[in-house]
Amino acid sequence: MKLLRSFFGFLDWLQLDWRRVKVKPFVSNSRGMLQQQLPRIVLTDPNGSSAEVLLYGGHIVSWKNQRKEELLFMSSKAKWKQHKAIRGGISACFARFGDVGSVEQNGMTRNRMWSLDRDPSPLPPINDHSSIDLILKSTGVDLKTPRSFELRLRISLSAGNLILIPRVRNTDNKPFSFAFSLCNYLSVSDISEVRIEGLETLDYVDNLMNRSRFTEQADAITFDGETDRVYLHSPNKIAIIDHEKKRTFVLQKNALPDSVVWNPWNKKAKALPDLGDDDYKMMICVNSAAIDTPILLKPSEEWKGYQEISTVSSSYCSGQLDPNKVLHGFQ
């Protein structure tokens, strides 16, 4: 109850537009009663799209288009309780360089309760967008890091896209470096029907091959087994084409030079306690990241990233979607 009283106390200064932003402290739906202790915020668009954001982890657990189709994947065995990262949706992963484990495995920002930002830094307005600003401040002991920082995340929704703007500020008296990733679990019809375009000819680190480096030789990335790669210096626009759904995700990013592509396939999926045995068939992770080269912040400096995900229709029956149109724009 103390948490909920604190949460509702923020509403006086928020001045929310209740037609577009709804705050629901309890969730009661098919995902089960475990969600009831996780306050959420629902962003809505007049055209019918919506996004559901948990304060826990600053986690986007749902994004639906105007036709109410779910665009994000959520594990059938996701752990809906505090102190456990939630498998699915979109989350921000932050790791100070030198911490044990990769940035995707580091749950320090994914299993903490974030707050609504009382004083968000000014950013250019986005017309016709519903937005929310979240903040997570380091606590030293809580986050087990010797450096003090503030992590902010603006989430904006419109009829056709979802925009995330993360910012990290060094509030310490010493510089530090960090890795960062926006972990995107996208919903697909069948992983074997998915291809990713825009990463061809790039160098990548293969985490399944002792982090050895290779160069992508294929015209596009397709899937027939476990994949865990970090593509280096990737372009600012990537296309994820789902042939069966005739839908393409277009991912645009800035200040996040790497792209992580991950799917556990059947054997790894069965070994993960928070992932259903067959869930791997309906998901693909394509993350916007800064992993290979550390981001260095001096005291009082701030880093800002950007990610935008949108969808366009594509038809496999009438020929594969021209990647140049997706990656470089339609006329």
For residues 327 and 76, give the distance between their C-alpha atoms in angstroms, rounded to a whole number: 32
20 is in an annotated binding site: no
Q: Which residues contact residue 319 at a Cβ distance below 8 angstroms, ignoring those fewer than 6 apart?
A: none
Residue 317: other Cβ atoms inside 10 A: 6
Of the CA atoms within 13 Å of residue 45, those in its CB half-sphere come to 23
Helix (H) or strand (E) holding 250: strand 247-254
3-state SS, residue 165: strand
Nearest CA to 71 among 221, 185, 195, 163?
185
For residues 167 and 307, give the distance between their C-alpha atoms in angstroms, rounded to a whole number: 12
Of the CA atoms within 13 Å of residue 290, those in its CB half-sphere come to 25
CB 54 within 8 A of CB 72: no
For residues 54 and 114, give the distance between their C-alpha atoms in angstroms, rounded to a whole number: 9
For residues 166 and 51, give the distance between their C-alpha atoms in angstroms, rounded to a whole number: 17
Task: Name the DSSP class of 37.
Answer: G
87 is in an annotated binding site: yes
Tokens of 141: 């002991």
| Angstrom distances, CA of residue 145 to CA of 59, 149, 321 | 21, 10, 46
- Exposed e or buried b per residue across 114-129, where buried means at least 16 C-beta atoms within 10 angstroms of its C-beta: bebbeebeeeeeeeeb
Residue ranges of the annotated binding site for substrate are 87, 105, 110
Binding-site residues, in ranges, read 87, 105, 110
